[in-house]
Amino acid sequence: MKLVTKKYGNREAIRERWYRRRFLAPNLVTLGNLFCGFLGIIYASSFRYEKAAIAVGIAILLDGLDGRVARRLNATSKFGVEFDSFSDFLSFGLAPAFLLYHWGLVSIADEFGVFVTFLYAICAATRLARFNVSDDNPKAFTGLPTPGAAGLIAAVVFVFPQTFNSEITSVVASVLAVSLGGLMVSRLRFLSLKKFQLSDMPLPATVLIGGFIALTWYHPRPALLSLALLYVCSGPLGVLYRWLYRKSDSEKAEPGENRGTKSSKA
């Protein structure tokens, strides 16, 4: 009887010890995100652009995983939130800025490249700080999330790792830095992919996502670029759609209002 009690007592002690250390799991995932961002800077500085883009892409995947691990293990903490925010700034603020600067700006527009990539980094820091102090809608973000901006930069470089024309590449890098920075600090709404559930999507959207997954398997470079571009454009396109929808509703309501006005005058 004593042996059985001791056996189960040891098992409970081990389980309790692992439960106290459950915070290590999400923090290790965040550490992987931080390492990938640091690795992206190293690769970009040594002109290994394709590897830098892959490192940023892996950081995006890890960023989407750490929150899920923390919620599953009930291991959320203030330290984890701050650690994740600093890791995101390195991986999605500094690493993409370094990548854009060395990929498209250092050879032809050095000083201007420093300015526009620093502007991107400022916008990324502002976006993360605003997210930390705001009580945002869990299903939508205000402003383009930093992983979305970094994902488009990584996808563009992944498709075109070798710069074919210095002038064109510098223009593309400058437009990416300025436009993505503006979207990050904007008030546009973007879908939150961290709590995205495929079962909540309608059938046409599910089929479309399945097609993109199949395209990614066979043609990863254009598929990843299309996905990143689609997500970045979803905010402005959503505003345009809502404006057109309100305009069509107002046009439908005008004939009835005019008839009512005529009848009252009669």
If asked whether residues 58 and 107 sit together in one domain, one would say: yes
If asked whether residues 60 and 125 sit together in one domain, one would say: yes
13 pLDDT above the threshold of 70: no
The Cα–Cα gap between 95 and 120 comes to 11
Residue 25 burial by Cβ neighbours in a 10 Å radius (0-12, 13-18, 19+): middle
Nearest alpha carbon to residue 224 among 51, 88, 54 = 54
Phi/psi at 107 (5° precision): -80, -20
Q: What is the pTM of this model?
A: 0.81
Q: Which of 196, 221, 252 is the last residue of a domain?
A: 196
| pLDDT score recorded for residue 31 | 94
C-beta of residue 99 within 8 angstroms of C-beta of residue 153: yes
If asked whether residues 172 and 192 sit together in one domain, one would say: yes
| pLDDT score recorded for residue 70 | 80
Which amino acid makes up residue 172?
V
Of 75 and 148, the one with more pLDDT? 148
Of 43 and 80, the one with more pLDDT? 43
If asked whether residues 214 and 92 sit together in one domain, one would say: no
| pLDDT score recorded for residue 66 | 84
| pLDDT score recorded for residue 128 | 93
Distance of CA 105 to the CA centre of its chain: 24
128-146 pLDDT tens trace: 999 888 765 567 788 999 9
Q: Residue 156: which pLDDT band, with cuts at 50, 70 and 90? A: very high
SS3 243: helix
If asked whether residues 114 and 169 sit together in one domain, one would say: yes
Which DSSP string corresponds to 148-163? Answer: HHHHHHHHHHHH--S-
The Cα–Cα gap between 62 and 184 comes to 20
| pLDDT score recorded for residue 204 | 67
If asked whether residues 49 and 176 sit together in one domain, one would say: yes
Q: CA-based Rg of the chain, rounded to a whole angstrom?
A: 24
The Cα–Cα gap between 181 and 57 comes to 19
> Which stretch, 76-90, 168-182, 241-255, has highest mean pLDDT?
168-182
72-102 pLDDT tens trace: 887 778 888 889 999 999 999 999 999 999 9
Residue 4 burial by Cβ neighbours in a 10 Å radius (0-12, 13-18, 19+): exposed
Q: Residue 71: which pLDDT band, with cuts at 50, 70 and 90? A: confident
| pLDDT score recorded for residue 186 | 93
Q: Which of 196, 211, 244 is the last residue of a domain?
A: 196
Q: Which of 196, 213, 231 is the last residue of a domain?
A: 196
121 pLDDT above the threshold of 70: yes
Q: Which domain holds residue 241?
A: 197-266
Please identify which residue in the block is written with the tokens 């970009």.
44
Count structural domains, the chain: 2
Please identify which residue in the block is written with the tokens 């994902």.
151
| pLDDT score recorded for residue 196 | 57
Mean pLDDT value across the chain? 82
